[in-house]
Amino acid sequence: MKSVQIVFVLFFVSVASFAQEKKWTLKECINHAIKNNISIKQSELDLQTTAISKKDAIGNFLPSLNASGSHSWNIGLNQNITTGLLENQTTQFTSANLNANVDIFKGLQNVNQLRKANLSIIASQYQLTKMQEDIALNVANAYLQILFNKENLKVQKEQNLLDTKQYERTVELVDAGNVPKGDLLDIQATLASGKQRIIVAENALLLSKLSLAQLLQIQDFQNFDVSDEDMPTMLSTILSETPEAVIAKAKENRTELKIAQANLAIAEKDISIAKGAYLPSLSAFYGFNTRASNSNGFDIVNGNPVITSPKPIFDQFDTNKGQNFGLSLNIPIFNGFAVRNNVARSKVALERSKLAKSQQELDIERNVFTAYTDTKAAKESYEAALQIEKARELAMQYAKDRYEIGMMNVFDYNQSQTAFVNAQSEVLRTKYDYIFRIKILEFYFGIPLIEKQ
């Protein structure tokens, strides 16, 4: 029994350990965010609302059917419906009605309402797609920030290890009398500064994990981690395209422009709906009613008036039933300029939609051109940072050799070492900035952030 319990304990421990050791890939992060992000869920609810509005538009083509009924008691002095005399009596009266109405022609408003509802669904779908794209970009940026902070922390730790070795080497040089003892104090300060940079790098890594975990709606951010091996590639041919080609491709694919086009089509339908109120409307109606009472009846028997007992209620319903049906034509003549003003407002809304679409095209041109320029500049900055790092590394090695033979003081040596550390950090910064710029430019060109299965 104990062995079985041990097996179960080991199983659950291994499962918990696996959960904590799970490292998320970029694809997993984006897919998880799209499924769980609150903003995306709100956009999905907006899409459901537009689907309900379409059902409303379809319902306008269907007839309306309503049933009603009433039952009343008359107590006290009331007119006897049989004799016509006022009497103190209690009577009951039951009535039932059924009414139907259907629009035959309504200025094509119902048709245009349905077309508008379909366009609204398309616009909501585009809006949902836009929200998913924005979340994907934010996730990719947060993901790359974690990778940057990881590598930066690794660089700081490696540098701290070198500082520790240099401290040990300086101790040997001080003991041998090759360098003054004051140099040892400077190396100790450098070592302390390196540890401080490690603390800052660790905090930055933790905060970047928190940021991404919040995007993914993950509570246990302290055990959250991403895969170090899922590094987006810098090998891209996007810069071989001209800015004009990228802009043209973006105008074909960008969701925000499709949203503007859908809103423009909706505004045109609003004008058609408003103009429909100028036209006559024709509807058909049908009504059925019946009634029953428990009052005494009146009849003539052998030439003499006779008061009779109430007939059975269902017999009364059958006897008193009636129907009415017909057509109703409504011709608008003057309505206080209401229709004219609605049409004018719809035309103003259409002009706003046209301006919004034009502005969106200008924004895409500006954003794409800016992204292209930023990507090109990021590439050049990264290449320059690599050259600077290489030069700083050689300069630091040269300074180290000179310091160890007493031809350089510790201050100049620390300056050279600090310049090399800064060069390493700049390489990391420009590297991840370049990767993210590539992703943005490819995104405008229609290349998805992740390949869909």
Mean pLDDT for the stretch of residues 282-307: 75
**CB of 379 closer than 8 Å to CB of 434:** yes
**pLDDT score of 73 more than 60:** yes
- Give the global pTM: 0.77
Name the residue among 210, 224, 212, 216 with its Cα closest to residue 40.
216
| 326 dihedral zone (left: phi>0; alpha: psi -120 to 50; beta) | left
> Which of 249, 262, 207 is closest to 371 using CA atoms?
249
Return the amino acid letter for 127. Answer: Q
Res 85: pLDDT: 65
Any idea how long the chain is? 453
pLDDT bucket at 37, cuts 50 / 70 / 90: confident
Task: List phi, psi (to 5°) of 12.
Answer: -70, -35
Distance of CA 272 to the CA centre of its chain: 31
Mean pLDDT of 161-172: 81
Measured at the alpha carbon of residue 343, what is the angle toward residues 340 and 345, in degrees to the nearest 5? 110
User: What DSSP string runs through 228-294?
Assistant: SS-PPP----GGGS-HHHHHHHHHHH-HHHHHHHHHHHHHHHHHHHHHGGGS-EEEEEEEEEEEEE-
The two beta strands, 281-293 and 64-79, are unpaired
- Largest Cα–Cα distance in the chain? 151
Check if the beta carbon of residue 70 is closer than 8 Å to that of residue 253. Answer: no
Q: Which two tokens stand for residue 50?
A: 């537009």
pLDDT, one tens digit per residue, over 361-399 is 999 999 999 999 999 999 999 999 999 999 999 998 998
Q: What is the pLDDT of residue 19?
A: 40
The DSSP code for 89 is: E
Calculate mean pLDDT across residues 144-173.
85
Between CA 343 and CA 179 the distance in angstroms is 90
Q: What pLDDT is recorded for position 20?
A: 47
pLDDT band at 415 (very low <50, low <70, confident <90, very high): confident
- For 396-414, write each residue's pLDDT tens digit: 899 888 877 778 887 787 8
The answer, yes or no, to whether residue 347 has pLDDT greater than 70, is: yes
Q: Is 80 exceeded by the pLDDT of residue 177?
A: no
* Dihedral sign, Cα of residue 183, residue 185, residue 187, residue 189: negative
Task: Report the range of poorest mean pLDDT among 60-69, 87-96, 220-229, 339-348.
Answer: 87-96
**How far, in whole angstroms, is CA 441 from its chain's centroid?**
21
- 286 near 139, Cβ under 8 Å? no
What pLDDT does residue 7 have? 39
Contact yes or no for 140/26 (Cβ under 8 A): yes
Over the stretch 256-278, which tens digit does the pLDDT of each residue have? 999 999 999 999 999 999 999 99
Q: What is the dihedral of CA 347, 353, 356, 357, to 10 degrees?
A: -120
